[in-house]
Structure 1
Amino acid sequence: MKEFGPVYPGGPAGDFGVTHLNKTDGWVISGHGYGMYTYVNPNELKSESPDDTEIGLFGRNKRGLDGKNPIIIYVNRKK
């Protein structure tokens, strides 16, 4: 995670994509690090109807914090 940070707007780590989830509440935020995603729960946001920019910026900030102090909670590997 440290390899893909720190997050600076305008740099490659500042890019994000927002995926709306169908089977659970919330969104997954992707960045330039392949296979690393940040989950955003609707309860984390102040707005009740946030747009993709608000969701993505919040998720990007979470990713930036993770890059500074990474704690890996799950790794999915194919055997």
Structure 2
Amino acid sequence: MAGVDTETLIDAWRRLLADSGKTWVLFEHGTCVVLEQPTGELAAQATEILREFGPVRVAGPAGDFRVLELNNGEGWLVTGHHPDVVTFVPLDDADDPTHLAVGILGRSRRDLDGTELHVVHVEDGRPGEA
């Protein structure tokens, strides 16, 4: 499965989390882990969360998802069983814009991110950090 352009993903997440002061880590296929209590090595902290909560396991809570349509028309957010793990699906990526199809696409991207664990960007929102 082809990933979304990294710069497009970074720009989208920056807009989504603008002025939130949140620390977040972005993975290759669009999954973002928001670190509510960022400590130490941020990429490693997010990777541990995604390693546990990213992969889809049959007949478990990892298969569940919720689709949130963005008001700006950019696409959707697909949530899962961890409140701080969310996958962005751009409007142009969905051949079928139904929530079921978008949810399955987002869940499959979260599964890829949770298996491959390839960090592409870290945004440190802690005061005094860059």
TM-score range, shorter chain: 0.7 to 0.9
Structure 1 distance, partners of 2:94, 2:72, is 19
Q: Which residue of 1 aligns with 2:99?
A: 52
User: How far is the alpha carbon of 1:10 from its aligned partner?
Assistant: 2.7
Q: Classify 1:23/1:5 alpha carbon distance in 2 versus 1 (closer, same or farther; 3 Å).
A: closer
Please report the TM-score for the alignment, with normalisation by the length of structure 1: 0.82
Structure 1 distance, partners of 2:125, 2:52, is 19
- Count matched residues: 77
CA contact (8 A) 1:9 1:15 kept: no
Structure 2: gaps spanning 5 or more residues: 1-49
1:41 and 2:87 aligned: no
1:15 and 2:72 aligned: no
Aligned-residue RMSD, C-alpha:
1.8
Structure number with greater Rg is 2
Q: Which residue of 2 aligns with 1:74?
A: 122
Structure 1: gaps spanning 5 or more residues: none
Q: Classify 1:78/1:71 alpha carbon distance in 2 versus 1 (closer, same or farther; 3 Å).
A: same
SS at structure 2 position matched to 1:6: coil
Q: Which residue of 1 aligns with 2:112?
A: 65
Amino acid at match of 1:14: G
Q: Which structure shows the bigger proportion of residues in strand conformation?
A: 2
User: How far is the alpha carbon of 1:24 from its aligned partner?
Assistant: 4.3
Structure 2 distance, partners of 1:24, 1:75, is 24
Structure 1 distance, partners of 2:52, 2:82, is 9
User: How far is the alpha carbon of 1:34 from its aligned partner?
Assistant: 2.0
Deviation per residue, 1:13-58 (Å, 9 max, x gap): 10100011012410000001121100001211223xx210000000
